Amino acid sequence: MSEKKKRTVILGLVFLFFLVLAYIENTSFFVYIQDSFTNPPIAIVLVFIHNVLAISLIILAMSFYVEIVLTLMPKRKIEYVVLQNPEIFAVVFTAMILLISILRASTLVRGQVEVNTLALVILLSLPNGLVEGYGMFQAIKKTLKKKLEVRDLALIYSIFFVAAVIEVGFVQALLWISAK
């Protein structure tokens, strides 16, 4: 087996390992996050760590995808569609993830998605979604282009820190409004 194929297999195994860890983290995150909002600095740290883990997993998955395409796929045009159009794929993938996140967030209150409150949830999620969406778009695009550098990663993580502050700020504002 060539070095590139070994690297791809190892990257895939690392991705699977971190996918399992992310599942465990995600499950515990949604159990404990509601209690942490009583202390905003802790909530910001927890939301930021959760977002960093999520975007890091996406970067790892996209890196694995790039390696599979470049080392294991035939050299036909159809296999390279995503790599040749990273911006389009990044927009579609980001929109899909944001929609799933909004639906997941809307289930936190009553345990299910309620269509009559979904528009309000989307409206309230818009500022945070735009910030997170931009960070996710940049991470995916740069990873698919194989141009992700440490300074890009620092910028992407700082975008997710801003998103964590916005998210916790909105929750605190909603808690304050609902208490009155």
* pLDDT tens sequence for the chain (180 residues): 788 889 999 999 999 999 998 888 888 877 777 777 788 999 899 999 999 999 999 999 999 999 999 998 888 888 888 889 999 999 999 999 988 887 777 666 566 666 777 777 778 778 888 999 999 999 999 999 999 999 999 999 999 999 999 988 888 887 787 777
Give the pTM. 0.85
In angstroms, rounded to a whole number, what is the distance separating the alpha carbons of residues 171 and 168? Answer: 5
Contact between 160 and 48 (Cβ < 8 Å): yes
